[in-house]
């Protein structure tokens, strides 16, 4: 055993796999167990104990014979990998609420960055998206990456929130006085399609942006250049998310 743990809390922090008529459990660190599922942590980090239990609360270890029959090995780490990957993760209500809020925040941030109002082309707001999530009764999977459930979330949101993921291309020319200073800012906001440094020292580029980001990007660029910038919305690109 790598670390001591509070038996009264084990039932709230275990991964459980029921298979072949048997029950197998491991005591987990919930944050790292979720990260392990996503390939972001090692199996040892995901475990509070390297024992395989039949009933972790009671401290009853799984039978070595049963482990060999079911998993074809008695290697605790290999068995723990299967349990966390294929089983269910049991966590406290407090941790579940924390994880749900984190996933909700991540989904809202992606929609703010890439989405826009399909009717007006204007950016969405966090409050509007949050209200729509509640109105559409969207259930967020706390153990699934935010990006992996975005498509499903959007399909449920669309009946109450007109949303588009349309892209726009902007032609930009920044005079020499600000070109080098603002290169990094422009590059961080979207995908530069092509660019050129002109003979007068100015910088010209075409950049692809999510439609919802365009108004804020243009306002910020004009503010940083005190209006000394040329911007033209060249075209639109059909949205990819359906």
Query: Is 0.85 topped by the overall pTM?
Result: no
What SS3 state is found at 167? strand
Sorting pLDDT into bands at 50, 70 and 90, what band is 121?
Answer: confident
Q: Which range is least confidently modeled, 63-67, 82-86, 117-121?
A: 117-121
Same fold, 93-164 and 167-237: no
Domain covering 7-90, topology? 3.30.1250
Q: Are 50 and 2 in contact (CB under 8 A)?
A: yes
Is residue 25 a contact partner of residue 53, using CB atoms and an 8 Å limit?
A: yes
What DSSP character marks residue 47? B
Q: Structural domain boundaries of the chain? A: 7-90, 93-164, 167-237
Q: Are 172 and 207 contacting, i.e. CB atoms less than 8 angstroms apart?
A: yes
The CATH number corresponding to 167-237 among 3.40.228.10, 3.30.70.240, 3.40.50.620, 3.40.50.2300 equals 3.30.70.240
Whole-number Å distance between alpha carbons of 177 and 173: 12
When pLDDT is cut at 50, 70 and 90, the band that residue 239 belongs to is low
Q: Which two tokens stand for residue 111?
A: 């929609």
Tell me the mean pLDDT in the region 22-51.
93
Where are the strands (E) in the chain, listed by range? 14-19, 22-27, 53-55, 60-61, 88-90, 116-117, 163-164, 167-174, 191-197, 203-210, 230-237
pLDDT per position as a tens digit, 176-205: 999 999 999 999 999 999 999 999 999 999
Confidence check: pLDDT of 235 > 80: no
Q: Which CATH number fits domain 93-164: 1.10.10.900, 3.40.50.970, 1.10.260.40, 1.20.1250.20?
A: 1.10.10.900
pLDDT in tens, 125-155: 999 999 999 999 999 998 888 999 999 999 9
Helix axes 30-37, 93-114, angle to 10 degrees: 40
Residue 5 has pLDDT above 60, yes or no: no
83-101 pLDDT, tens digit each = 999 999 988 888 889 889 9
Cβ density class 64-93: b for 16+ within 10 Å, e for less: eebbeebbeeeebeebbbbbbeebebbbee
The pLDDT of residue 173 is above 80:
yes
């Amino acid at each position: 055993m790598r670390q001591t743990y509070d038996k009264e809390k084990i039932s709230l922090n275990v991964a459980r796999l029921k298979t072949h008529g048997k029950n197998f459990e491991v005591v987990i660190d919930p944050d790292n167990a979720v990260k392990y599922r996503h390939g972001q942590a090692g199996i040892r980090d995901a475990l509070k104990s390297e024992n395989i239990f039949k009933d972790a609360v009671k401290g009853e270890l799984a039978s070595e014979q049963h482990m060999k029959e079911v998993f074809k090995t008695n290697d605790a780490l290999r068995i723990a990998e299967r349990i966390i990957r294929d089983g269910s993760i049991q966590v406290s209500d407090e941790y579940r609420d924390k994880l749900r809020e984190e996933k909700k925040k991540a989904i809202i941030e992606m929609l703010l960055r890439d989405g826009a109002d399909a009717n007006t082309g204007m950016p969405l707001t966090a409050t509007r998206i949050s209200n729509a999530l509640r109105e559409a009764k969207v259930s967020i999977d706390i153990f699934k990456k935010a990006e992996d459930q975005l498509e499903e979330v959007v399909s449920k949101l669309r009946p109450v929130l007109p949303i588009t993921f349309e892209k726009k291309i902007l032609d930009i020319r920044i005079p020499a006085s600000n070109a080098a200073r603002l290169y990094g800012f422009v590059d961080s906001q979207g995908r530069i399609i092509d660019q050129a440094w002109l003979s007068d020292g100015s910088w010209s580029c075409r950049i692809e942006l999510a439609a919802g980001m365009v108004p804020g990007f243009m306002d910020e660029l004009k503010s940083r250049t005190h209006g000394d910038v040329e911007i033209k919305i060249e075209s639109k690109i059909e949205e990819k998310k359906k």
